[in-house]
Amino acid sequence: MSTQAADIDHGDHDHGPAKGITRWLYSTNHKDIGTMYLIFSLVMLFIGGSMAFVIRAELFQPGLQLIEPEFFNQMITMHGLIMVFGAVMPAFVGLANWMIPMMIGAPDMALPRLNNLSFWILPFAFALMMSTLFMDGGGPNFGWTFYAPLSTTYAPPSVTFFIFAIHLLGASSIMGAINVIVTIMNMRAPGMTYFKMPMFCWTWLITAFLLIAVMPVLAGVVTMMLMDIHFATAFFDAGGGGDPVLFQHVFWFFGHPEVYIMILPSFGVVSQVIPTFSRKKLFGYHSMVYAIIAIAVLSFVVWAHHMFTVGMPFVGELFFMYTTMLIAIPTGVKIFNWISTMFRGSMTFETPMLYSIGFVVLFTIGGLSGIMLALAPVDMVYQDTYFVVAHFHYVLVPGAIFGIFAAVYYWLPKWTGKMYDEGLAKLHFWVSFIGLNLTFFPMHFVGLAGMPRRIPDYPLQFADFNMIVSIGAFMFGTSQLIFVYVLIKTLRKGEPAEQLPWEGAEGLEWTLPTPAPYHSFPTPPTVE
């Protein structure tokens, strides 16, 4: 494998990147596209985050102080959409682009032009989506779950642009997913069987299948909305014989696998990072793979646990309660395996490891509140309260976002050839960690005490905790500036990184020189 690396260094066919803006516009290089995805996602994180700032500023105290309820609803909607489709998903695709070819020993992604297209759709889709905020009647104001008929008959005129933006995002995701699947299936280095693949590739392979399965469903549901709004159909309009609950079924048939789309790649990242810093192989590799597959399959039969209060028939309720509980089992297996990986290892706690441990702890908390929410009779009380908000932020922020941070710190030396500032990065972790818990933990309390979600103003008994939540949110938000600073500092003044910056790291990506060459493996390495 090391001869391989040498090969690349001296290979005369290895042309560098094009110069200027065309390098980025026309790029078909997996690393350039990966970088663009990651930068895009960071920008979106800040835009979505500033909307969260607006929300939390309004909720700092009871009463309406800063914004009108109408605008508040637009903020919660946009915050959700941007974080899901703009921050988390593109970041994962960016990581996939960078890492999958390097991890399986391929020169690039299998479909480079498709790759370029799937990225360049995104800025246009989001420009379109955000332009709705400036339209007559305002932007989408019906929550990121956009339940009909609030999002059809009662929606502002800009909803049509929202629908079009969702179509674009779906197309982009599907292309990205096809690319990942084709790459993994066809371009693995000789000897790299499926069961030798790094966990990150496994999780992404399964994520990609989920994406292909559910993105068309999302496209379908928004198309039905479009028809209802403009072409006089009545899919969701009870007045015309339609069914508003149908909307929720279709939406959540997309929506539930979607939440696994946003967590599985993080599972993969953590499964790379924990073994490295424990200096030990991943515990139960095979059962980890089977657990992901089980989670992915089950994710298709649990969707209506988001709808326990819509008045489903009793057996429906029972079915979805049981299947949802079932997901806890493979999820538990994963958590136990990560902990066993650490167990009797020789651990060090560099930033990627801190983020991974943070991930395991906080994701477990989110998972446990998930078990509580799965119980239909109790969910009748939790549903649509801040308890739910706390739950899904616990699985998404430390889940998805911490996974992404872990990945970035872990592979940054390989990407840039420079080492980040460990002290500052640790500061970033600790401030984020405290801010995050300050933000989302008290949400459990106000939720149980009876605060509904998505309200711009609240009864007085919730005042104290909301203030804490807002302070936590400001802390968490601003701590991300440290992240940006760390990135800039690394690029400008970082110490040169070694080829293998982490003592315990294994995998083909570390056999490449540092920084990784423009084309990863022009000739495939052999895996024994």
Which residues are known catalytic residues?
A: 79, 108, 144, 172-173, 256, 258, 260, 271, 305-306, 331, 334, 453
Beta bridge partners of 419: 495
DSSP assigned state of 281: P
Q: Report the chain's terminal Cα–Cα distance, integer Å.
A: 10
Choice between 109 and 321, CB closer to other proteins: 321
Stated as kind and residue range, the H or E segment containing 419 is strand 418-419
Q: How far is the CB of 467 from other proteins (least distance, A)?
A: 6
Choice between 45 and 148, CB closer to other proteins: 148
Helix (H, G, I), strand (E, B) or coil at 385: strand
Q: How far is the CB of 501 from other proteins (least distance, A)?
A: 16
Distance set, CA 167 to CA 273, 447, 492 (Å): 35, 34, 39
Choice between 69 and 496, CB closer to other proteins: 69
In the chain, the largest separation of any two C-alpha atoms, in whole Å, equals 71
DSSP assigned state of 498: P
Please state whether beta strands 418-419 and 495-496 pair in parallel, antiparallel, or not at all (unpaired): antiparallel
Distance set, CA 371 to CA 135, 329, 332, 441 (Å): 41, 11, 11, 17
Backbone angles phi, psi at 234, to 5 degrees: -140, 50
Question: Which contacts of 373-377 are long-range, i.e. CB under 8 A and separated by 24 or more positions?
Answer: 373/305, 374/305, 374/321, 374/324, 374/325, 374/328, 375/321, 376/305, 376/308, 376/317, 376/318, 376/320, 376/321
Instruction: Return d(Cα 5, Cα 511) in angstroms, integer.
Output: 6
Contact 271, 203 (CB under 8 A): yes
Q: For residue 19, count other CB atoms closer than 10 A to its CB.
A: 7
Distance set, CA 267 to CA 2, 92, 144, 200, 393 (Å): 29, 11, 24, 8, 16
Q: Which two tokens stand for residue 232?
A: 């006089």
Q: How far is the CB of 322 from other proteins (least distance, A)?
A: 7
Q: How far is the CB of 403 from other proteins (least distance, A)?
A: 18
Choice between 92 and 236, CB closer to other proteins: 236
Choice between 185 and 238, CB closer to other proteins: 238
Amino acid at 224: M
Q: Which two tokens stand for residue 411?
A: 């592979």
Distance set, CA 101 to CA 28, 112, 321, 455, 521 (Å): 13, 12, 40, 45, 8
Stated as kind and residue range, the H or E segment containing 495 is strand 495-496
Angle, helices 30-58/463-493, rounded to nearest 10 degrees: 150
Choice between 354 and 400, CB closer to other proteins: 354
Instruction: Return d(Cα 368, Cα 335) in angstroms, integer.
Output: 12
DSSP assigned state of 397: I
Choice between 348 and 526, CB closer to other proteins: 348
Q: How far is the CB of 82 from other proteins (least distance, A)?
A: 18
- Listed in sequence order, the residues at least 6 apart from 430 whose beta carbon sits closer than 8 Å to its beta carbon are none
Contact 509, 411 (CB under 8 A): yes
Q: Which two tokens stand for residue 182?
A: 């084709």
DSSP assigned state of 496: E
Q: How far is the CB of 376 from other proteins (least distance, A)?
A: 5
Choice between 11 and 240, CB closer to other proteins: 240
Q: How far is the CB of 480 from other proteins (least distance, A)?
A: 18
Q: Tell the burial category of 57 from Cβ atoms under 10 Å away from its Cβ (0-12, 13-18, 19+).
A: middle
Q: How far is the CB of 205 from other proteins (least distance, A)?
A: 22
Choice between 423 and 459, CB closer to other proteins: 459
Q: How far is the CB of 216 from other proteins (least distance, A)?
A: 25
Q: How far is the CB of 185 from other proteins (least distance, A)?
A: 27
Instruction: Return d(Cα 89, Cα 264) in angstroms, integer.
Output: 11
Choice between 94 and 367, CB closer to other proteins: 367
